[in-house]
A and B are shown apart, each in its own frame.
Chain A
Amino acid sequence: MAKISAKNINVYYGPKQALFDVDIDIPENDVTALIGPSGCGKSTFLRCLNRMNDTVAGCKVLGIIMVDGMDINASDQDVVQLRSWIGMVFQKPNPFPKSIYENVAYGPRIHQLVKTKSEMDDLVEHSLKKAGLFEEVKDRLNDPGTSLSGGQQQRLCIARTIAVNPEIILMDEPCSALDPIATARIEELIVELKDNFTIVIVTHSMQQAARVSSKTCFFHMGKVIEVGPTSKIFTNPQHQQTQDYITGRYG
């Protein structure tokens, strides 16, 4: 059974419709990539999954999104709980202007996941290790998170997300602001994390989708054109538009 199942998603920004009847099933403990040209609605769809679109004025989401069989748009759904369950990593690394330690400790603290200081220390260390950052920062946990390099900042943001112990991690073009080496590092990390988390990644780079994901959705003009196993999409696409996009004819 799919971890996330979206049916008939229509999204409007004021009078403008951004998504048209999107249907996607996202498998558990796997990486699903959303690809497509700029403005095709892939980020909008991603932000529906943890209801970040709630914070956008004039945005309206219609349709049903079931996560583990529960409707996340239900009126009695607690958004705060939902977001601790479905974490998100953004396009531009956005650490809080606080220490590295505080960046990771913030989520557990607001959800009161740990009771003592030593438990918190362990959780911070564990999260940083999982994000592959601990060795680089273990001697300077009190330095500001903003003093790290771009790639390190993005891994810090991943550690911060992991610390809340979500089941699903949404990634909105997490490597678009990073250099190739930092990108490779994050990609390795994504592959490592998929054993424990369901990951949905929006990416501009088809190579990245091919490297990290096992399922790919191709969006175009707010519609899902094609969904399928990554290998099939990239080697044997069924639609002409998909073919054109992955061969670099537009996008």
Chain B
Amino acid sequence: MIKAPENTWHHKRLRAEKRFRFYGASALSLAVLILVLLVGSLVWRGLNGFMQSQIQLPITFDQTALGAGEGADIHSLTPSHYMCLVKISLHQMFPEVADPTQLHDLYALVSTGGGISLKKTLQRNPAMLGQSKAVWVPVSSDADLYIKGVVTEKTPEIERSLSNQQIAWLKQLQEKKLVRRVFDRTFFERGDSRTPEEAGFLGAMMGSLLTLLICLAVVFPLGVMTAVYLEEFARPGKWVDIIEVNINNLAAVPSIVFGLLGLAVYINVLGMPRSSALVGGMTLAMMILPVIIITTRVSLKSIPRSIRDAALALGATPLQVVWHHTLPLSMPGIMTGTILGMARAIGETAPLLLIGMVAFVVDLPTGVTSSATVMPVQIYLWASSPEAGFSEKTAAGILVLLVLLLAMNALAIALRKRFEVRW
């Protein structure tokens, strides 16, 4: 065995190494801890947002109560007509309530969206008219928060939007086992709403999808062509250097500046429809363009010179060299860069605020020119809403966004692994 030299200098450098490893491990654990806390709190709060409380009410689809005469078309009735049925049923359950203010509080327990589910039930089965049936009706956001345990009786009455009386009613319903919690499908079926329990994320998801499609369609050909020209065809020189410096600078420009540019060029000069996925996608495309150009150039650079030489020496034209060899070989890198660029675009908020995508949009977007919002902007809108019910919607929205981002990054890694070429 070789003995370690007995001098302090040797021990010192061994200790320095140990110290360094310790610092590194501590930094890593701290980072992991922060990440776990972040994701944990989001999951904890977000999962509630995917759930919706309902109460069971015996509903009589009474024609007169519905306000529909003999032979009237049930399709012409609005959901608010059906709310009458809900109110009647609630009143029958708690016949002791007579005071109009109290009655109002009682009715406030169910969601105004309850009429919609009743309407659907009747439309699916028109024979129900005149019959009675126990129907699950969604509760209002405030009642929902109590059932989920976010708001409890211990909270002082003044600080919560449910009165003691309302809590007492809910408790009675719970004792009768007339309360359940189900997966909130409307979250993935509808657009935004002013009331938390009716607000859905689908509008924002579709808006994001359309925006990203536009962004990809604009930025991919533009970015790849630019990079190929700069890397393979342009004669290196002063002009290429100037362009390169400018592209690198563009990549560092704050995203909100691109929003201003989009507002000025697309909306004011070209007159494109504001708040639309078209303008949003093209604005994000400007923002992502430098990223795509840079990553494409890097992956083109990584193709060995010998491959170009081999093809050129066989008599391939420069275009054939690009088309047959360098571009296919650098595709994994280009795709990875593009997906990471898209992942940046999907989470971008600031430039979209400026082009009007921050509008309150209830309807699902029907095309790239209709008003839309995107996921991060929807999250921002919900986060700044005063109703307590929106905070769990915010967390749920963030979870959806994070899952999509993770999926995109996983796809980027999978593509790189799948198409990686070894020399």
Contact = CB atoms under 8 A, between A and B. Distances in A.
Nearest to A81: B315
Interface in A40-61: 50, 52, 55, 57
B152 interface: no
Q: Which of B236, B314, B421 has the most CB of A within 10 A?
A: B314
Interface in A158-188: 160-161, 164
Interface string A93-110: 011110000000011001
Contacts of B235: 57
Contact of A111 (B236, B309, B313, B315): B315
Interface stretch (A82-90, A223-231, A237-245): A82-90
A88 B313 contact: yes
Interface in B406-423: 421-423
B118 to A, nearest CB: 64
B421 A97 contact: yes
A84 B314 contact: yes
Q: Is the interface on chain B under 10, 10 to 19, 20 to 34, or 35 or more residues? A: 20 to 34
B172 interface: no
A55 B308 contact: yes
A239 B310 CA distance: 37
Given A90-B306, A92-B306, A94-B304, A146 B313 contact: no
A157 interface: yes
Contact of A94 (B236, B306, B422): B306
B314 A83 contact: yes
A157 B317 CA distance: 19
Q: Which of B235, B316, B422 has the most CB of A within 10 A?
A: B316
Contacts of B236: 57
B305 to A, nearest CB: 9
A2 interface: no
Contacts of B324: 106, 110
B328 to A, nearest CB: 9
A211 to B, nearest CB: 25
Contact of A110 (B309, B313, B314): B314
Interface string A149-160: 000000001001
Given A94-B307, A96-B310, A107 B315 contact: yes
Nearest to A89: B313
Chain B interface, DSSP helix/strand/loop, else mixed: helix
A223 to B, nearest CB: 26
B329 A80 contact: no
Interface in B308-336: 308-317, 320, 324-325, 329
Q: Is the interface on chain A under 10, 10 to 19, 20 to 34, or 35 or more residues? A: 20 to 34
Nearest to B303: A97
Q: Which of A81, A84, A96, A111 has the most CB of B within 10 A?
A: A96
A110 B320 contact: yes
B314 to A, nearest CB: 4
Nearest to A93: B306
Contacts of A111: 315
A220 to B, nearest CB: 26
B423 to A, nearest CB: 6
Contacts of B313: 50, 52, 83, 87-88, 90, 161
Contacts of A160: 310, 314
Nearest to A85: B315
Given A57-B235, A96-B325, A110-B320, A52 B314 contact: no
B331 to A, nearest CB: 12
Contact of B315 (A90, A95, A164): A164
Contacts of A52: 309, 312-313
Contact of A55 (B312, B314, B422, B423): B312
Nearest to B309: A90
Nearest to A157: B310
Contacts of B421: 97
A84 B324 CA distance: 17
A101 to B, nearest CB: 15
Contacts of B304: 94
A95 B306 CA distance: 9
Nearest to A50: B313
Contacts of A90: 306, 309-310, 313
Query: Which 6 residue pairs across A and B have the least CB separation, nearest first?
Result: A84-B315, A94-B306, A88-B313, A83-B315, A107-B314, A94-B310
10 contacts: A52-B309, A83-B312, A92-B306, A96-B310, A97-B329, A97-B422, A110-B316, A110-B320, A110-B324, A111-B315
Interface of B: 235-236, 304, 306-317, 320, 324-325, 329, 421-423
